């Protein structure tokens, strides 16, 4: 995703500035019980669901991106206009945007990991799975 955003930032910035670039977020976790699937965007929501359904055994799948979803899961979570979650890509300032792109596109993976942990619902525990 960051590669695509970087492409638009460098070569098609006017699309971002016009508010026309969106990203669809796929789930981070899928819990399966038989044919039933429940999708979660973060560890906290998954853990709350598991607490509420303690005693029920689920197959827990951690997803790293849309490439791990089968076509049915991709439609249900990311493509279906009725259920997908879209996030608009915006530029607050050129300096902070360039700094973020340098963090994500640079050669030091620890900077990316630190940023992700500090700015999302992903925990260090999630990164170790």
pLDDT tens per residue across span 14-71: 999 999 999 888 888 999 999 999 999 888 999 999 999 998 999 999 887 788 888 9
Give the model's confidence band at 97: pLDDT under 50 very low, under 70 low, under 90 confident, else very high: confident
**Strand partners for 29:** 40, 62
For residues 28 and 41, the answer to whether their CB atoms sit within 8 Å is yes
For residues 111 and 16, the answer to whether their CB atoms sit within 8 Å is no
- CB within 8 Å of 63: residues ≥ 6 apart: 26, 27, 28, 29, 30, 69
- CB within 8 Å of 6: residues ≥ 6 apart: 101, 104, 105
Q: CATH second-level architecture of 24-88?
A: 2-Layer Sandwich (3.30)
pTM beyond cutoff 0.75: no
Q: Which of 13, 29, 22 lies closest to 64, judged by CA?
A: 29
Domain ranges of the chain: 1-21+90-129, 24-88
């Amino acid at each position: 995703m960051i590669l695509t955003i970087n492409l638009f930032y460098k070569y098609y910035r006017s699309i971002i500035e016009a508010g026309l670039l969106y990203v669809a977020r796929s789930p981070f976790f899928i819990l399966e019980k038989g044919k039933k699937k429940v999708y979660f965007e973060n560890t906290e929501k998954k853990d709350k669901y598991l607490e509420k359904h303690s005693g029920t055994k689920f197959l827990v799948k951690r997803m790293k991106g849309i490439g791990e979803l089968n076509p049915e899961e991709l439609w249900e979570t990311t493509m279906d206009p009725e259920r997908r979650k879209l996030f608009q890509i915006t530029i607050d300032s050129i300096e902070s945007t360039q700094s973020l792109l340098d963090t994500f596109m640079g050669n030091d993976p620890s900077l990316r990991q630190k940023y992700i942990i500090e700015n999302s619902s992903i925990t260090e525990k999630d990164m170790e799975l």
